[in-house]
Structure 1
Amino acid sequence: MTGDQPREIAVLGGGLAGLSLVLQLLDHGVKARITVVEPRHTYTDDRTWCFWDTEDHPFRHLIADRWPTWRVHDGTRAHRCTGTCAYARLSAGDVYAHALARIARAPNVHLWRGTRVQRLDGRRVQTDAGTLAADLVYDGRPPRLPETASGTRLLQQFVGRRIRSDRDVFDTSACELMDFRLPQRHGIAFLYVLPHSPREALVEATVFAATRLPAGRLDGLLDDALAQRLPSGVETLGSERGAIPMVPNLGERASGPGVIPIGTRAGAPRGSTGYAFLPIQRHSRALAARAARGTPGPVRMRGRITDWLDRVFLARLIARPDAAPDDFGRLFAGVPADRLVRFLMERGGPLDHLAVMTALPTGAFLRHAAAVSLPRALRPHPRQRAPVADADPDSPVPRS
């Protein structure tokens, strides 16, 4: 059963989620007037999005680097993996330029830069540039970070630099996903290296911790790592930093009829990994399909099984941070590459989930599973009846 498409749509936030949604609304033939409210005045190449290249999306042709092989060093030994799908990197600058060019060509889309939302009153959006009265509001503003029922919560914090060496030092055939040969004093710390050429790479220091660390501490961690691993004569081309909430089922419920959360507010970052790019693409596609059918409404970011698995793994990370290097080493050494990629990118089936669970210390994880209560995680919630993005009938991506 279908209804009329909305005539006036407001998108609060013109970051990745907001821009991805607008492109999907255009691709699905939504003719409504779309107003994007974005506080920044200019877009810069301020971040990098990475994922395994498992499926199509509007930005796939912009992928800057692909690595067929990836490595994880657990502090004792390195594990090298090669799978069917490459690990991929997208530059924010390329994504923004592509999306903004499409928006500029779309007569029904209006981007209000340098504009902040002062108040959301139902579907009336009060901004410092005026008031919008919309039929439908997609809310991508930064969310509050709630404590979960099981108390599992970490913050994935990172600082990265795009660097150039005066000599060939990087192996471009593989990326370094996690190198745990860093001091583990402040949390679960590792180095992340994405080589662009033999002389250029993005190098990040990442820490999983329960509290936010001072910026100087992260910078010092990266400085020390670069000094130990690279020769002198290194030039910094750019930098990025951020913090990603690692909270299972982070998504907020809609604040009222016709108001739909998107992006991090909808729970895009996966609780156990922080990966958000592909979930945002699936979620945007599913939301746009509903709007095009005249039945707009919320869509769950992911299924309850995935949320439960994330709660179990986070409970383990919080209880035994010292075991994290070995646990990640077991995953990459013990699970076939394609199975692990499907699991990490939320395309996995029961056999993939089983392979991941049996690669980890079984007794310890069973105790954590009991602590977070499997029956409670699987029990349907009466106020959460939205479809799941992965299960949307218009999604072209088959489940594994």
Structure 2
Amino acid sequence: MSTGSLLLTNALLTDPAARTQMHGALLIKDGVIADLGPGLTKDKVGSDVEILDCGGEVLAPGLVDMRAVTGEPGAEHRETLATASQAAAAGGVTTVVCTPETHPPIDDPAIVDFVLRRARDTSIVHIHAMAALTKGLAGQEMTEIGLLGEAGALAFTDGAHSVMNARVLRRTLTYARDFDALVVHHTQDADLAGDGVMNEGEFASRLGLPGIPAEAEAMLLERDMRLVAMTGARYHAATVTCRASLDVLRRAKADGLTVTASTSINHVTLNENDIGAFRTFCKVSPPLRHEDDRIALVQAVKDGLVDAIVSDHNPQDVETKRQPFAECADGAIGLETMLSAGLRLVHDGSLDLLTLLRALSTRPAEILRLPGGTLTKGAPADLVVFDPDTPFVLDAAKLKSRCKNSPFDGARLQGQVSRTIVAGRLVYQI
């Protein structure tokens, strides 16, 4: 951590927590925000303060990504904590929460400790770990949630694996409630999804590919809501993607359940048509849905029904992606492109900038009970500076992630990160 002082001047201070924007400056001391506002100038701070001119760009809280696969330990050829952190910094993400889909899975306190120590040694952003809900991610026997929490696990999930046994999930939710632990669940009925590889519908039929119905998601989410009502646990739906799920979520929140939800950046900016001529980089889980579902998701983010947007970063190497669509692995990288892709929604008028940033930083921080997501005195100096209007064409080869399976490869994007600051230290700069 930097113990020096830094004054960021000539910035558009954008605080999604307070829903305010103003031109001014921000002072960082000892890794936290010491002061900010339009009246703050270099003449009002000490001579030992370093000055950084933001050139009128947006200065906002760093993004908090609730869902990313990092690969380490066991799959370092896909991604390491170091390379994931470099990709995150380049995308304005200052906090990454990694899933337990490693080898071995993060289902033991010793593995939680390893990941956190490794992150402290190699990462340039904050990295937290979610631990497994069930041993081996097998969905049969719950893990020691209490011990894993003591070791530093931030939340509990089986990643892209759904717990199909309702009795196991009920017991897990009950146990998690007693520790006030957050359960993050992937809602896709494995039996109903079967061998499907994309959204079920006319487009899947035209491509000759087996589909996954939206009901596979909505039905499992409905079951989970009933279990949450029984247990009173804190529950987060990992990736909602369809209108039917939004109806379930709306009823659950209306009933006062302690339920939150996120969707992925892929599902609010892409649809099933982006698969085109079998583009494997667009094969994700849950699958990309119909355009009507995408529009409904964006509206749900705007209304606050869907609380957060995640990158769902899942690096896959050439051997697993350069295959026929039906046989390739699910997953797309997203840490470095989450903000730029999300700004598409701002430029087309679907969302305003404050609402987008609230879903990318403020609400994830609140759900995970992490500091950050706001520009207030005393808050951590985890910040991103970006120009929302800078146009560029994405060249996946230049991305910092170890794998290059971006669904936005070759896409025209608008909005580029120029600086990322973590705990008062500049970790990325163009």
Q: TM-score, normalised by structure 2?
A: 0.29
